[in-house]
Amino acid sequence: MKTHRILFAITLLSLLAILFSACGPRGPSIEIEDAWIRPDPLWENAAGYFKISNVGGASDTLLGVSISISASESMHQTVMDGDIHKMLPVDSLEIAAGESVTFMPMSYHVMIMNLSDGLDYGQKATIVFEFEESGEIEVQAEIRAE
């Protein structure tokens, strides 16, 4: 009888441990939406824009991006210094759990250098995002005039 109570207690504690671990914090869950690219008037360089949302339970860090239509890319943030706009390099960007960051004109953006020849509005380019925890996430971005 005593053995049955001990086994019952061990089983109950094991089940409770499994239930509580399932309710614990989750990892990051990254969603990327509305990715688009705006070329400069000469179609030599461009800027990339998108919204990154972390709907998970832990933060993640964007380490960089690569884009199929360019020779090099780098992340920047536009800030005001008095009356002057300055572009500051961004080596990485933390996306907190439950938060979003929007890359848009006059804010965070990706500089896309040395565009491929023969591009036109409406075409799609592949952007690969590299995150510290979530790894690589690939999305399609439309080339727009906006």
What are the residue ranges in the chain where pLDDT is below 70?
1-25
State the pLDDT at residue 131: 98
What pLDDT does 146 receive?
A: 81
Task: Express each pLDDT in 115-125 by its tens digit.
Answer: 998 889 999 99
What is the total count of domains within the chain? 1
Is the residue at 13 inside a domain? no
Residue 127 lies in a domain: yes
Rounded distance between C-alpha atoms, residue 28 and residue 16, angstroms: 25
Is 12 within a domain?
no
DSSP H helices, the chain, are 2-22
Task: Give residue 37's domain range.
Answer: 30-143
Dist. CA 89–CA 55, nearest whole Å:
26
Q: Are 106 and 124 in contact (CB under 8 A)?
A: no
Residue 5 included in any domain? no
Looking at residue 10, its pLDDT comes to 59
Q: Which residue type, as a one-letter code, is found at position 108? A: Y
